[in-house]
Amino acid sequence: MEQLFRSELRAHGFEGEWHVLSPGEVGALIDLAKSFDLTILGQLSLETRSSAFRPDEIIIASGRPILVVPYAGTFNTVGRRALVAWDGTREAVRAVNDALPLLADAEVVTVMYVGAQQASLEHHRPGLERVADHLRRHGIPAKPEETPQGGIAISDVLLSRAADLAADLIVSGAYHHSPLREALIGGVSRELLEHLTVPVLMSH
């Protein structure tokens, strides 16, 4: 793996560093992540839960965006057809702006708000349209979209819509509530990480 890594660096004229860390060295990985634009991690599977880095720990502690790749599937593109999960929170704002480099060559970006009630949809509509305008000012073909939650988990709504759109990336703010609360009562971030079917970029 190290030889392949170094040969790819040479082929593309890049500089790079090679570090080997064990799952017990999560602090070292967090320190490294703080000085890089993006950290890419694999989704935890049943086989790797006890022997791999937990994406939620890195997302919370590093302050940098994390791209989590599903353990099943092949992903040849990331960001050509993206779905942005928008709820107006600080975390969502961070995620949208952290994703700009990955969306630079996008064919279409759908910015989606999922509301529990009609009043919620109406309240968030102006912000939804503004963030789509923000992406278009960066040359990214974005369109706003809203949908009622309909008694379904928001994560399921997002994953279903991502499949409909043939999306190759979901962009989402991470852990608006604490990871402990999400573990106890559920949460969009935790559920996305457990069930994701396409790469997801998260920022906290």
Does residue 114 carry a pLDDT above 50? yes
Structural domains of the chain in order of their starting residue, each with its CATH number: 81-203 (3.40.50.620)
Task: Name 114's Cβ contacts closer than 8 Å, sequence gap at least 6.
Answer: 85, 87, 146, 147, 148, 149, 154, 157, 158
What pLDDT, on the 0 to 100 scale, is given for residue 164? 97
What pLDDT, on the 0 to 100 scale, is given for residue 49? 63
Q: How far apart are CA 95 and CA 171, in angstroms?
A: 6
Report how many helices (DSSP H) and strands (DSSP E) the chain contains, helices first: 9, 7
Task: Name 5's Cβ contacts closer than 8 Å, sequence gap at least 6.
Answer: 16, 18
**Angle formed at CA 194 by CA 192 and CA 196, multiple of 5 degrees:** 55
Among residues 98, 122, 129, 113, the alpha carbon closest in space to that of 200 is found at: 98
Which residue is associated with the tokens 């990480």? Answer: 193
DSSP 79: S
Q: Which amino acid is at 111?
A: V
H/E segment holding residue 195: helix 188-195
- Confidence band (pLDDT; 50, 70, 90) for 184? very low
pLDDT per residue as tens digits for the range 20-43: 998 789 999 999 999 999 999 988
What pLDDT, on the 0 to 100 scale, is given for residue 54? 84
Q: What's the mean pLDDT in 171-184?
A: 67
Does residue 185 carry a pLDDT above 80? no
| Contact between 144 and 132 (Cβ < 8 Å) | yes
| Contact between 139 and 112 (Cβ < 8 Å) | no
* pTM greater than 0.85 (yes/no): yes
- Confidence band (pLDDT; 50, 70, 90) for 46? low
